[in-house]
Chains A and B, each alone.
Chain A
Amino acid sequence: MGEKVRIILNGRECDVPAGATLASALLALGLTHFRTSVHGEPRAPLCGMGVCQECRLTVDGRMHVRACLLLCRDGMRVETGTV
């Protein structure tokens, strides 16, 4: 097992691999609902490379952050399903 960092996912502390993208770390935790579409449907990463916009979530209070383009950082606060 490699080095871990601790993120706060929807208020809960989770240990995830350091150096992983946030999208892959959350998928590995079993998360399938990243954002909520305008019609209220759950959405999750599709392309994994910053194009499809489906993995957007709120990170440290900033909305519409693409989880697939962000590496996990210690203390990162992540909220899913917001927009």
Chain B
Amino acid sequence: MSSSFDVVIAGAGIVGAACALELTRSGLRVAVADPAFPGAGATAAGMGHLVVMQDSEPQFRLTAWSRQLWHELAPELPAEAEYLQCGTVWVAADPEELAAARRLRDCAAARGLLAELLDAAELAEVEPQLRPGLAGGVLIPEDAVVYAPAVARWMMRRAVALGAVLRQGAAVVSMGGGLAKLSDGTAWSASALLNAAGTDAARLTPGLPVQPRKGHLVITDRSPGFLRHQVVELGYTKSVQALTGESVAFNVAPRPTGQVLIGSSRQSGVCSAEIDRPILEAMLRRACAYMPGLRQLSAIRAWTGLRAATPDKLPLIGPHPQIKGVWVAAGHEGLGITTALGTARLIAAHLTGRAPEIPAEPYLPSRHIDADGAQSHG
């Protein structure tokens, strides 16, 4: 086996796997190493929500474009990817949130996205399990859900079938000088070294502004028809934006099996994988407050994962400004499943010299790291 490649990728999560497939399809020789197996990290602890978010213009552009790429990819996906265009229902609890719902609808409409304002009765009709007394919401019918670990596995299988090399059970422990060293002693040379290591990104490339943000998930037994859309409280955005401390938000997703995925929680700077009982309890209480019928379902598993968070809630996609030959595709926080496809296209554009399909500047790591070595505060 050759040990010289065009690109070595650290990490086979959804982002690394999407990059591997896109770069291999672009004709590059790619090798990927993952400390476990494809989709084993944060990819397996996400809800698989393919969602357009509009907190900032760059976030909107990357998520909307990526969602479009998911729509295009959907017919190719295998059944185990469980792609389901279920739409998102953003729930407004009170008149204040209903005003926010109206702004969300107007914003989406102005950008050419389908979005439908729901009054209280319409909300109850689209999701009958929601408690009575809610103010309304917004339905975004083109959002979807996917079973992300299966997609990461499939992407890596496709990439390997096209000639990529995958090393499982070995982490990239250092990259630089055109060389990636693996924990099993392997050394791979490549002109481009791509750090897609998620929350390990800053360990592999010191100075990257990526911090862990722990989340909890619960899955129930099967209850077909209980839930029709991904349903999220409008307060979710507040939970996401609080950069420190702990927060929970009502966020549930239907699985094709009829199971219900229940999220979400955020704890900054926590690295342990253990279930945090008080946070789990707060998360489930919040879910049951919005959707009382959840109490009748049995939770069959609870688990955690670490999102890779950046200070400005945008991922790092592009060349490392100080270390020649090192590239970054990390820091996707809770949007890594959605934005994996756009990320892969941007990285491929960078590495092949193609023009990027959306402006690449907002995601460049150089916005946080000066070329002379200091971490900037921009």
Contact = CB atoms under 8 A, between A and B. Distances in A.
Contacts of B313: none
A12 interface: no
Contacts of B296: 62
- Interface size class for chain A? under 10
Nearest to A83: B222
B133 interface: no
Interface string B260-296: 0000000000000000000000000000000000001
B257 interface: yes
B298 A83 contact: no
B258 interface: yes
Nearest to A56: B221
A63 B296 CA distance: 9
A62 B221 CA distance: 13
A62 B297 CA distance: 10
Contacts of B223: 63, 83
A27 B61 CA distance: 59
Interface in B170-192: none
Contacts of A62: 296
B301 to A, nearest CB: 14
B311 interface: no
A64 interface: yes
A64 B221 contact: yes
A38 B298 contact: no
B207 interface: no
B224 interface: yes
B296 to A, nearest CB: 7
Interface in B207-258: 221-224, 257-258
Nearest to B223: A63
Nearest to A82: B224
A67 B237 CA distance: 44
Interface string A40-83: 00000000000000000000001110000000000000000011
Nearest to B226: A63
Interface in B11-62: none
A83 B220 CA distance: 13
A82 B224 CA distance: 9
Contacts of B224: 82-83
A64 B258 contact: no
A46 B242 CA distance: 50
Given A38-B222, A83-B222, A83-B224, A64 B298 contact: yes
Contacts of A38: 222, 257
A83 B223 CA distance: 7
Interface string B94-125: 00000000000000000000000000000000
Nearest to A61: B296
Contacts of B257: 38
A62 B293 CA distance: 12
Interface of B: 221-224, 257-258, 296, 298
Given A64-B298, A83-B221, A83-B222, 4 more contacts: A38-B222, A64-B222, A82-B224, A83-B224
